[in-house]
Chain A
Amino acid sequence: MPPDIADKLLRDLSLGTAWLVVLAAIARASTPIHGYEIARQLADEAPEGLSFKQGTLYPMLRSMEADGLVKSTLVASHEGPARKCFTLTAEGRRVLNAWCETWRSTNKWVNRVLGGIDGTR
C-alpha cells in the first residue's frame, strides 16, 4: 500500500477512535478533568507502537465543546494559571453510549473478517 494511502487510512481511523477514547476518559473522571491530564492518561494507556500525539487532543476538545458534547470550566491551579477542565454533557454521554455500542459491534465484525484473512494466509 502506498504510504500516503496508509497515512490517510490511519488518520481516518485515528480520528474516530480518538474522539471515542477522549469522551470515555472524560466520562470516567470523577471530577472535571483538564486537557493535560486526559492526554497523560491516554498516553499511559496507549498500546505499544501506537503513536498518540498529545497536542492533537486540544483541537478535538475544542470541536467537542463547539458540538455541545463537553463543557468546560476554569479551575484554579496551585501550579500555574487557572486550567480549563472538562465534563461530559448529557448529549456527550448519549453520544458516548451510542458510540460504544457501535464500536463493540464494529470491533466484533472487523475481528471476524480479519480472522478469516489470518486463516487463509
Chain B
Amino acid sequence: MEHAESADAHKVVRLYIAQLALELEGADAALRHDAIIDAEQHLNAAILAGASADVAIVEYGTPVEIARAYLDADSTHRSWRAAPSTASHRTVATPTRRHMHEIPVIGAWFDRRAWGAIAYFGTVGFILSIGYFIWSVAIGSLVIGLAPILIGIPLLVLLLGSARALCLFEGKVVQFFLGVRMPQRTQPIQGADHVGFWQRIWCWLCDVRSWLSLGYLLGNFPVSLVLFIIIAALTASSVMLMSLPFMHFAGAPIAHVDLDSGVNIQAFGETMPDEQGDVRLPLIVSIGLGVIGFLMFTGTLWIARGFGWIYGHVVQAIQVARPQLVTPPRIQ
C-alpha cells in the first residue's frame, strides 16, 4: 500500500518535472538541467518528510512560476553567465564595449569567446586532452588485462568514476574558455540512493553518463589534435603575415640568404636578396600581405568561435544527459 503511494507520488513528481522542462524549452540546457534537478530534489525531500506530492507541488510553485523565476534571475544576473552572449547582458555592459563584438566581420576581435577558443584549442584543451587520453588508455588497458582475475572490476569502477570527475572538471574549463555554460547542480546517479554498496556499483556501471564521459576522454584526443593543428596553423600563418608591415618599418629583413649560395630571385620588380644577403619585401607588398594576414586572423577567430560553440555544447550535452532509472538486481 505504502509502496503504491510512493510510486504514485513519484509519478506526480515526474509529471511536474516534464511540465517544468516544457516551460523551459528553448532556455539554455544548463539552466533547464539545474531547474529540473532543484525541483526533483526538493519535491523528493518534501515527500520523504511526509508531505503529499500534491501539497509539495503547490508549495513549490507551478511550472510556469518556477520557470519564470529561473528565467528572470538568469536575465538579471550577469554572474550566472559565462559569456556576454545575450541581450540581457547588454544592460550591464558599458555602452562602448557592449556592441563591439556585434560589429559585422571584425566583431570577433572583441569577442572574449573567440580569444578563449584560440587559447583553449591552441594550448589548454590540447594539453588536457593528452592527459585524459593517457589516463584512460593506461587504466583501460589494466582493466582489460586484469578482468579475468576480477581485479579489473574495481579498476573499471575507478576508471568510470575518474572519467566522470574529469568530465566535470573539463566542463568548468570549457565554461571559462569557451563561454558555454555548464550545469551547477550535479545530477545524482539514478536509483543509487537507497540500495547497498554492490547495487550502487551496478547503478554506476549502468549510468549512461559514466560511459559517455569515458567516450569523451578517449574521443577528445583525436578531435583536439585536429583542432590544435587547424588553429595553430591558421594563427601562426596569419600572425606571420600581419607582422610583415611592422618588420618593413622596423627595417628588419624577413630572411637572410648566404650570398655564396648564389641564390638570386627577381620578385616584385626587385632583386632579392640585396648585397648584404637580406631579403626585404617592398612596402606595398608588405602592407598587402599584412591585410591578408589581418583578414585571415579574423577568419581564424570566427572559425575558433564556431568550433568553441560546437565543442562546448557537446560537453554540455554530456553533463545534462538524463539517464533512465536503473533497477539494480537484488543481491542476497
Contacts and interface: CB of A to CB of B under 8 A. Distances in A.
A58 B74 CA distance: 12
Nearest to B48: A79
B69 interface: yes
A84 to B, nearest CB: 7
User: Is chain B's binding surface mostly helix, strand, loop or mixed?
Assistant: helix
Contacts of A58: 34-35, 38-39, 42
A43 B73 contact: no
B59 A59 contact: no
A56 B69 contact: yes
A39 interface: yes
A107 B66 CA distance: 29
A59 B193 contact: no
Contacts, number: 80
Given A36-B46, A79-B48, A84 B61 contact: no
Contacts of A82: 188
B220 interface: no
A20 to B, nearest CB: 16
B79 interface: yes
A40 to B, nearest CB: 8
Given A62-B184, A63-B80, A80 B61 contact: no
Interface residues of A, number: 25
Interface residues of B, number: 32
A55 B80 contact: no
Nearest to B57: A55
B41 A53 contact: no
A34 B45 CA distance: 11
Nearest to B72: A59
Interface string B178-199: 0000001110110011100000
A28 B61 CA distance: 25
A54 interface: yes
B322 interface: no
A57 to B, nearest CB: 8
A48 B76 CA distance: 30
Interface of B: 34-35, 38-39, 41-42, 44-46, 48-49, 59-61, 65-66, 69-70, 72-74, 77, 79-80, 184-186, 188-189, 192-194
